Amino acid sequence: MSYTGPDFDPPQRPPSSRLRSNKGYPRRPRRGPLTVALAALVPGALLGWVVYEAVGDGGSGGSGRTASPASPASASASASRTAAAPSSPLAPSAPSPRPTSPGDGGKRRTTPPTAGTGSGPLRGKVVVIDPGHNPGNFHHTAEINRKVNIGTNWKECDTTGTSTNGGYTEARFTLDVAHRLRTLLEEQGATVKFTHDGNSPAWGPCVDERARIGDDAHADAAVSIHADGSVEGNRGFHVILPGAVHSGAADTRPIVDPSRDLGARIAGNFLRDTGEPPSNYLGKGTGLVTRTDLGGLNLSTVPKVFIECGNMRDSKDATLLTSGAWRQKAAQGIADGIVGFLRAS
């Protein structure tokens, strides 16, 4: 994922060349591996969450991310979910039924079925899936460099994203996971809409339009899928939550609390289903990070989160991200979190 803008350097070579991650995160020195067993991560995450709530997100590294206090509007928006919220940031929801096939074969659907036509527990629920970036962005660098208003300031329309050292691009990864996720959610009866499907449109869409697609669909939940581009040794997943923003066209206050609930459920289920640990370089072990500089979150009027499924520049994470079997687990973890959130709402 890449949204910082000023240091964006569009690649002039094929995706296999080394790309700048441009994630908006600082390049941190390599840290050691997690020193606790995976089974101890959940209680550790709870302690990290308590610290996070008390002092704000310490993983910003001076990049401008801030943890904003809850407002009366956001508290009201989430009141109906309080009783059903997970007791821990990494507490998984009950898993949804597993599919008999790993995906839908990459079928493209630019127009989703009418909401409520499916059968299952999520009948009538609308989910918007936003596959981060677009494979066509590499050929439309002038278009994606155009600035758009994200409420707090102006940012590039979109970026190319990152890649593994072997050339597997983030855009390919996000589309694959998105297709798998769509299949899982539709089996539960949900109506699923994509912000794009590879070559439709041929590039982008811009970050403001991605948010608007979820808003116009009156989505019950929206998730943007990404993979990070940090340095070797920095590994693990993290879910990005919207901070409280009220500036220009942006007003996230009504969605802060329900988005936090959605993000916590996704984080807990992603950990359980994939075995991927929470990030060891952001989020203090909680797997949760709050940001106020992302247009896709700032301009959303529906509960929405981003998930960075792993670090493409770390060799251990890259092995997982390039595995079709693991991507199916990633889709399942995200799906289980969404299902838990929608059933509780």
Q: Catalytic site residues?
A: 308
CA atoms of 123 and 23, how far apart (whole Å) = 36
Cα 253 to Cα 69, 72, 76, 88: the distances in Å are: 10, 8, 10, 22
CA atoms of 81 and 40, how far apart (whole Å) = 27
Give the other-Cβ count within 10 Å of 62's Cβ: 6
